[in-house]
Structure 1
Amino acid sequence: MDAFAVLADAAHRPVDSANALVRGLDLDALHARPDGKGNSIAWLIWHAGRQLDSQVAELTGRDQVWHTGDWASRTGIHRDDQESGFGDDDGEVESLRVSDPSVLPAYLSAAVDSLLHHLEEIDESALDDVVDTRWDPPVTRGVRLVSVIDDAVAHVAQAQYVRGIVADWSIGY
C-alpha cells in the first residue's frame, strides 16, 4: 500500500463512522449537549468537515467545498463563510442546528473528496513540501494532511461518545 492509499483509507474512516453515527438519530439527540455543556453531535461533525475543508483549501489554493457545494444552504448553518468552529463559545455551539442529520456526513464526505482530489494531483514527493513555517519543525504537506485527518477522526469519535451518553447507543466494538 502506498502513502496515498494509506491517506485515502484514513480520510474515509471518519465519514463512514459519521454515517453510522447519525443513522436513526433524532434531532433532539443530534443537538443535545451532555449536562448542557460541551459540543453537540451536530457541531462536532460539522466542525470535523469545516476544519478539514478549510485546511485542504488552503493547501490547494482552491475554494472550500463549503462554498462551491452551497453547504450553508444545504445544512441550514448560516455562519460567516470563514468560520469553522475554532474558538466557538457555548452560545455558538448551542445555536448550531440542522434539520437533517444526514447532511453533516455528506458535507464531511465532500470535504474528504476534495482531499482525495488533491492527492490525485500531486506525486508522493510533494508530501515533503514545507507548507507552514510557523512551527518548529516546519510542517510538511504530508504532516498537515495527517493532522486534518486525525482531527476529523477525533471529532467524530467525540460525537460517538456524546451519542452514547444522549441516545444510549453503542457502535458495537
Structure 2
Amino acid sequence: MKSTDLLLDGFTRIDDEVREIASGLSKEQLEHRLDPDGNSLSWLLWHISRVQDAQVADIAGTEQVWITEGWAERLGLGLDPADTGYGYTSAQVAAVRGVSAEELVAYHESTFARTSEVIGSLDDDDLARVIDESYDPPVTVAVRLMSILADDFEHVGQAGYVRGLVLRR
C-alpha cells in the first residue's frame, strides 16, 4: 500500500460518513442546534467540505470547487467565498441554513472528487514538499493532508452525535 492509498482511504471514510449523516434529514433537522451556541448539522457538514476544499486546493495550487463549480452561489449562503467556517461566532454558525441534505452532500461529493484527484496525482516526493514554513517544523503536504483528515474526522464525529440526538427529539 502506498501512502496516498492510506490518505485516500481516510477521505473516502469521511465521504461515506457525510452521506450517511445527511441521509433523510429535513432542513429543520439539519439546522437544529442542541443549545443556542451549538453547531448545527448544516454548519458541520458544510464546514467539513469547505475546509477540505480550501486546503486541498491550496496544496494543488488550484481554485476551490466552491468557486469553480459555483457552489458559493448554488448554496445561496451569501458568504464571502474565502469563508470556511473557521473561528465562526454563534451568529455566523446560525447563518448556515436553508441548504438541503442533498445540496450539502452534492457539494461534499464535488470536494471529495477533487481531493481524490489531487491525492491520486501525488507521490512520496510530493508528500514531502514543504508548503508552510511558518511552523517549526515546517508543514509538508503529508502533514497538511493529515491535519485536514483530523479536522474532518473530528467534525464528522460531532455530526454523527448531533444527528443521533436530533433523531431522538
TM over 0.5: yes
C-alpha distance in structure 2 between counterparts of 1:36 and 1:25, whole Å: 20
Q: 3-state SS of the aligned residue for 1:159?
A: helix
Q: 3-state SS of the aligned residue for 1:131?
A: strand
**Change over 3 Å in CA distance of 1:113–1:78 after alignment to 2:** same
Describe how 1:88-107 pairs up with structure 2 within 5 A.
Answer: 88-107=88-107
Shift of 1:5: 1.0
Describe how 1:100-119 pairs up with structure 2 within 5 A.
Answer: 100-119=100-119
Describe how 1:16-35 pairs up with structure 2 within 5 A.
Answer: 16-35=16-35
Match of residue 165 from structure 1? 165
Q: 3-state SS of the aligned residue for 1:106?
A: helix
Describe how 1:76-87 pairs up with structure 2 within 5 A.
Answer: 76-87=76-87
How much is the aligned-residue C-alpha RMSD, in angstroms? 1.5
1:70 is matched by which residue type in structure 2? G
Contact 2:4 2:122 in 1 (8 A): no
Structure 1: runs of 5+ lacking an equivalent: none
Aligned length: 169
Shift of 1:120: 2.7
Q: Percent identity?
A: 37
C-alpha distance in structure 1 between counterparts of 2:60 and 2:125, whole Å: 16
Structure 2: runs of 5+ lacking an equivalent: none
Match of residue 154 from structure 1? 154
Contact 1:76 1:97 in 2 (8 A): no
TM-score (norm 2): 0.93
Contact 1:33 1:40 in 2 (8 A): yes
Q: 3-state SS of the aligned residue for 2:131?
A: strand
Shift of 1:119: 2.1
Shift of 1:66: 0.2
TM-score (norm 1): 0.91
C-alpha distance in structure 2 between counterparts of 1:102 and 1:14, whole Å: 16
Greater shift, 135-144 or 107-116, is seen at 107-116
Q: 3-state SS of the aligned residue for 1:145?
A: helix
Match of residue 68 from structure 2? 68
